[in-house]
């Protein structure tokens, strides 16, 4: 995938369906997991890997690639779903997710998985590491971008803001931070755990080109990522993506306990059916 | 093992509590060996970059910053960001020397170094100023637990060099070593001792600096310098003291330590500018315990306490790491 595969959005919808299906297959191994996040962020990752980012799945360490830093390590399931859909990983490996000696550990780590560029999981590392890689890429006079996927909960971490200050100070216009704003964190709704709004105003005040989009609207995501890449002022960029947990499987959407989901086998069977039904309504 | 107790007369209480190196009377010094060596090394290693969290002047990396302004990253007062960004720079093929005070590196940045540097085996060199008790500012700046903290971190090499001569040899060795390293350093006017001992720093190697029949001092950091001075003083009293210098605390040169500690009839004394918990004394004791080597052992180290603020000379003596205190303790133990 030298040049981004600029498919029309029906192709992106098809990819995002496969990403969701991959995630369901992985979570089914344990009958539990961060499936709601994976479904919610599937469209964001689809637009990143199939439209915005310049990557070569067959050559994960290609020097000119755009970098992708998974700050939210527990989104490993989402990352493996997109890496598989994009061709980094074979589909048959999905069912090893979280098993002993698998290349797909529960929390994403760099030494395990082709295409995993950092060990996340300890929340708040993504943007600081993007600053270091952004500085390094500038030193190398590289045109590559550094993308980092963060969750809304980690916007409460201090080093995220240390990094925001320095990204602006060093004019790191090669950073595109992406926040999966699903509004739920481990202890409950983000606005109750720790309110971080107003985010656009905060990031703009910190010197970012900040956008906020519906993270389950492929058209809006394509436009936002295009705008982030093409923006011509020397500022770091951030896209806050409001996503719906469980998106694509109706009975997982708005489920009360959705941060870590446990389902019966029957519910898993229903999940595939629900996803297929949802797909027909979505693809135009 | 027990920590040294000091009963000799303390020095006068009039020295200011400023940031200082530990230069004992009569020692030659060399100015800013870390900064100067990094500058000369960087001429042939373009991948070296420098970083500071608003303490460049106080870690001697300001010399590098002046020589290579475009290769120096001032990260502001955000140590956690600096360590994580250093991991990012290393991922892009650079060799960052990330500098701050030892205590901020160890206490404030532990998770960030663990996950962004050590776990990912990033080629970052963490350089901590003000090692152990080298400031009278009090516990906020006294890095009495950094060796314990960093020894517990997998993948990380941990070093406590003795003097300017060693720092000059250490810096190129760190740059050539592919992997994460933590080293403490002295800054400013740094004592120059080991050039007289035909000493060559090797990563992971302990070196016997002098032989002796009665006592084996196993020292690290500037306590090796004091061990050498103590050995001379004790020789005048007919006590023959050997000194083994252990700059690399991890990985420990187990073979050399076991070999020297196995020689019968010598009191083994460990000496470190660090808490009695988790540093050299603990490392040597557990090694010998696991190896079934059980000489008579004593430990010279700082107490397990938040130390007082005050003048450095008074504090170092009070807490048992001055040369006088060391001589006194060893005499008591013989």
Contact assessment for residue B255 and residue B220, using Cβ atoms and an 8 Å cutoff: no
Q: What average pLDDT score do residues A4-15 get? A: 73
Q: Which residue has the higher pLDDT, B123 or A30?
A: B123
Q: Which residue of A has its CA nearest to B122?
A: A118
Those of residues 142-201 in A touching chain B at CB distance below 8 A are: 158-159, 162-163, 165-166, 169-170
Residue among B262, B246, B253, B238 at smallest CA distance from B330: B238
Residue A177 C-alpha, separation from nearest chain B C-alpha, in angstroms: 15
Is any Cβ of chain A less than 8 angstroms from the Cβ of B179?
Answer: no
Q: How many CB atoms lie within 10 A of CB A276?
A: 12
Q: What average pLDDT score do residues A263-275 get? A: 92
- pLDDT over threshold 80, residue B4: no
User: What percent of chain A lies above the pLDDT cut of 70?
Assistant: 96
Instruction: Determine the pLDDT at residue A8.
Output: 66
The token pair at A244 is 């719906």
Place of tokens 């011509």: A232
Burial B18-51 (b: 16+ CB within 10 A, else e): ebbbbbeeeeebbebbbbbbbbebbeeeebbbbb
Contact assessment for residue A69 and residue A105, using Cβ atoms and an 8 Å cutoff: no
Residues A129 and B84: their CA atoms lie apart, in Å, by 5
- Which region among A24-33, A122-131, A225-234, B70-79 has the lowest average model confidence (pLDDT)? A24-33
- pLDDT over threshold 60, residue B13: no
Average per-residue pLDDT in chain A? Answer: 93
Instruction: Determine the pLDDT at residue B212.
Output: 98
- pLDDT over threshold 60, residue B7: no
Residue among A227, A261, A219 at smallest CA distance from A47: A219
- pLDDT over threshold 50, residue A41: yes
| Contact between B84 and A129 using a beta-carbon 8 Å cutoff | yes
A193: helix, coil or strand? helix
Please, what's the largest Cα pairwise distance for chain B? 58
The token pair at B19 is 């940031």
pLDDT digits (tens, 9 = 90+) for A184-212: 888 889 999 999 999 999 999 999 999 99
ipTM score assigned to the predicted complex: 0.93
Q: Sign of the CA dihedral B186, B192, B193, B196?
A: positive
Instruction: Determine the pLDDT at residue B8.
Output: 52
A266: helix, coil or strand? helix
| Contact between A133 and B115 using a beta-carbon 8 Å cutoff | no
Q: How many CB atoms lie within 10 A of CB A214?
A: 15
| Contact between A129 and B76 using a beta-carbon 8 Å cutoff | no
The token pair at B212 is 């002796």
Residue among B331, B330, B306 at smallest CA distance from B319: B306
Residues B162 and B193: their CA atoms lie apart, in Å, by 8
Residue B187 C-alpha, separation from nearest chain A C-alpha, in angstroms: 26
Residues B184 and B189: their CA atoms lie apart, in Å, by 15
Instruction: Determine the pLDDT at residue B23.
Output: 79
Q: Which of A129, A135, A136 sits opposite B116 (nearest CB)?
A: A129
Residues A38 and A106: their CA atoms lie apart, in Å, by 12
| Contact between A159 and B81 using a beta-carbon 8 Å cutoff | yes
Please, what's the largest Cα pairwise distance for chain A? 54
Q: Which of B49, B81, B86 sits opposite A163 (nearest CB)?
A: B81
| Contact between A133 and B88 using a beta-carbon 8 Å cutoff | yes
Instruction: Determine the pLDDT at residue B6.
Output: 46
pLDDT digits (tens, 9 = 90+) for A236-262: 999 999 999 999 999 998 777 777 888
Average per-residue pLDDT in chain B? Answer: 94
Q: Which of A125, A137, A170 sits opposite B84 (nearest CB)?
A: A125
Residues B111 and B287: their CA atoms lie apart, in Å, by 27
On the 0-12 / 13-18 / 19+ scale of CB atoms within 10 A, A222 is buried
Q: Sign of the CA dihedral A56, A59, A61, A62?
A: negative
**Mutation for testing the A interface, residue in B53, B73, B92, B153 having most A CBs under 10 Å:** B92
Pairing verdict, β B297-302 and B157-159? unpaired
- pLDDT over threshold 60, residue A233: yes
Q: Which residue of B has its CA nearest to A167?
A: B75
Q: How many CB atoms lie within 10 A of CB B141?
A: 19
Q: How many CB atoms lie within 10 A of CB A106?
A: 18
Residues 6+ apart with CB under 8 A from A46: A12, A15, A16, A19, A82, A85, A218
Contact assessment for residue B104 and residue B130, using Cβ atoms and an 8 Å cutoff: no
| Contact between B88 and A158 using a beta-carbon 8 Å cutoff | no
* Chain A residues within 8 A of B154 when measuring between CB atoms: none
Q: What is the 3-state secondary structure (H, E, C) of chain B?
A: CCECCCCCCCCCCCCCCCCCCCCCCCCEEEECHHHHHHHHHHCCCCCEEEEECCCHHHCCCHHHHHHCHHHEEECCCCHHHHHHHHHHHHHCCCEEEEEEEHHHHHHHCHHHHHHHHHCCCCCCEEEEECEECCCCCCCCCCECCHHHHHHCCCCCEEECCCCHHHHHHHHHHHHHCCCCEEEECCCCEEEECHHHHCCCCCCCCCEEEECCCCEEEEECCCHHHHHHHHHHHHHHCCCCEEEEECCEEECCCHHHHHHHHHCCCCEEEEEEEEECCCCHHHHHHHHHHHHCCCCCEEEEEECCCCCCCCCHHHHHHHCCCCHHHHHHHHHHHC
Kindly state the helix (H) or strand (E) to which residue A37 belongs, with its residue range.
Answer: helix A35-47
Is any Cβ of chain B less than 8 angstroms from the Cβ of A118?
Answer: yes
Q: What average pLDDT score do residues B13-24 get? A: 58
The token pair at A151 is 């969750």
Residue B44 C-alpha, separation from nearest chain A C-alpha, in angstroms: 17
Instruction: Tell me the whole-structure pTM to 2 decimals.
Output: 0.94
Is any Cβ of chain B less than 8 angstroms from the Cβ of A73?
Answer: no
Residue A116 C-alpha, separation from nearest chain B C-alpha, in angstroms: 11
**Mutation for testing the B interface, residue in A132, A157, A168 having most B CBs under 10 Å:** A132
Residues B3 and B21: their CA atoms lie apart, in Å, by 23
User: What percent of chain B lies above the pLDDT cut of 90?
Assistant: 92
Contact assessment for residue B125 and residue B90, using Cβ atoms and an 8 Å cutoff: no
Instruction: Determine the pLDDT at residue B85.
Output: 98
Instruction: Determine the pLDDT at residue A3.
Output: 38
| Contact between B90 and A132 using a beta-carbon 8 Å cutoff | yes
Q: Which of B85, B96, B120 sits opposite A110 (nearest CB)?
A: B120
Distance of CA B51 to the CA centre of its chain: 20
- pLDDT over threshold 50, residue B3: no
Is any Cβ of chain A less than 8 angstroms from the Cβ of B89?
Answer: yes
| Contact between B81 and A129 using a beta-carbon 8 Å cutoff | no
Residue B123 C-alpha, separation from nearest chain A C-alpha, in angstroms: 13
Phi, psi of B189 (to 5 degrees): -80, 105
Residues 6+ apart with CB under 8 A from B107: B145, B146, B149
Order of strands across the sheet with A209-214?
Answer: A67-70, A146-151, A175-181, A237-242, A209-214
pLDDT digits (tens, 9 = 90+) for B164-205: 999 999 999 999 999 999 999 999 999 999 999 999 999 999
Residues B75 and A107: their CA atoms lie apart, in Å, by 29
pLDDT digits (tens, 9 = 90+) for B198-246: 999 999 999 999 999 999 999 999 999 999 999 999 999 999 999 999 9
């Amino acid at each position: 995938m030298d040049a981004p595969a600029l498919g029309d959005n029906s192709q992106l919808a098809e990819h995002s369906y496969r990403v969701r299906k991959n995630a369901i297959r992985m979570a089914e191994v344990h009958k539990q997991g961060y499936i709601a996040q994976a479904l919610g962020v599937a469209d964001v990752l689809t637009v990143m890997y199939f439209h915005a980012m310049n990557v070569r799945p067959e050559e994960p360490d290609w020097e000119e690639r755009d970098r992708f830093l998974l700050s939210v390590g527990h989104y490993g399931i989402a990352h493996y779903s997109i890496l598989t859909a994009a061709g980094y990983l074979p589909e048959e490996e999905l069912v090893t997710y979280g098993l002993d000696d698998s290349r797909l550990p529960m929390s994403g780590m760099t030494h395990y998985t082709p295409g995993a560029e950092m060990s996340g999981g300890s929340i708040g590392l993504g943007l600081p590491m993007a600053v270091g890689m952004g500085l390094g890429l500038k030193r190398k006079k590289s045109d590559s971008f550094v993308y980092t996927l963060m969750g809304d909960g980690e916007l409460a971490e201090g080093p995220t803001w240390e990094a925001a200050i320095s990204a602006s100070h060093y004019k790191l216009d090669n950073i595109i931070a992406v926040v999966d704003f699903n509004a739920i964190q481990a202890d409950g709704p983000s606005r109750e755990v720790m309110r971080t709004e107003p985010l656009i105003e905060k990031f703009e005040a910190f010197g970012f080109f900040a956008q906020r989009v519906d993270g389950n609207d492929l058209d809006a995501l394509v436009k936002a990522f295009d705008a982030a890449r093409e923006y011509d002022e020397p500022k770091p960029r951030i896209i806050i993506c409001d996503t719906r947990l469980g998106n694509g499987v109706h009975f997982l959407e708005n489920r009360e306990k959705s941060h870590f989901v446990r389902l019966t086998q029957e519910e898993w069977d229903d999940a595939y059916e629900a996803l297929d039904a949802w797909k027909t309504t979505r693809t135009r | 093992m027990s920590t040294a107790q000091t009963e000799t007369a303390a020095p006068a209480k009039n020295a200011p509590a400023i940031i200082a190196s530990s230069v004992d009377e009569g020692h030659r010094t060399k100015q800013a060996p870390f900064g100067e060596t990094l500058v000369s090394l960087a001429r042939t290693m373009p991948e070296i970059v420098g970083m500071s969290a608003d303490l460049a002047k106080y870690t001697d990396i300001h010399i590098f910053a002046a020589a290579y302004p475009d290769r120096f990253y001032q990260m502001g007062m955000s140590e956690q960001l600096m360590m994580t960004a250093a991991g990012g720079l290393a991922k892009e093929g650079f060799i960052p020397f990330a500098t701050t005070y030892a205590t901020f590196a160890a206490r404030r940045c532990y998770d960030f170094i663990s996950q962004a540097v050590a776990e990912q085996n990033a080629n970052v060199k963490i350089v901590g100023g003000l090692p152990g008790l080298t400031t009278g500012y009090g516990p906020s700046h006294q890095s009495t637990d950094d060796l314990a903290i960093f020894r517990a971190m997998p993948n990380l090499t941990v070093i406590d060099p003795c003097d300017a001569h060693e720092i000059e040899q250490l810096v190129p060795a760190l740059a050539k070593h592919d992997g994460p390293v933590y080293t403490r350093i002295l800054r400013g006017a740094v004592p120059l001792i080991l050039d007289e001992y035909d000493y060559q720093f090797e990563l992971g190697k302990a070196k016997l600096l002098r032989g002796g029949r009665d006592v084996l001092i196993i020292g690290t950091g500037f306590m090796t310098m004091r061990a050498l001075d103590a050995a001379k003083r004790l020789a005048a009293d007919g006590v023959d003291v050997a000194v083994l210098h252990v700059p690399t605390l991890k990985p420990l040169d187990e073979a050399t330590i076991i070999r020297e500690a196995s020689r019968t009839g010598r009191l083994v004394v460990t000496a470190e500018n660090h808490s009695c918990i988790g540093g050299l004394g603990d490392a040597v004791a557990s090694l010998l315990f696991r190896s079934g080597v059980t000489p008579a052992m004593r430990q010279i180290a700082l107490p397990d306490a938040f130390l007082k603020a005050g003048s450095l000379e008074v504090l170092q003596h009070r807490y048992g790491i001055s040369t006088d205190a060391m001589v006194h303790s060893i005499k008591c133990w013989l």
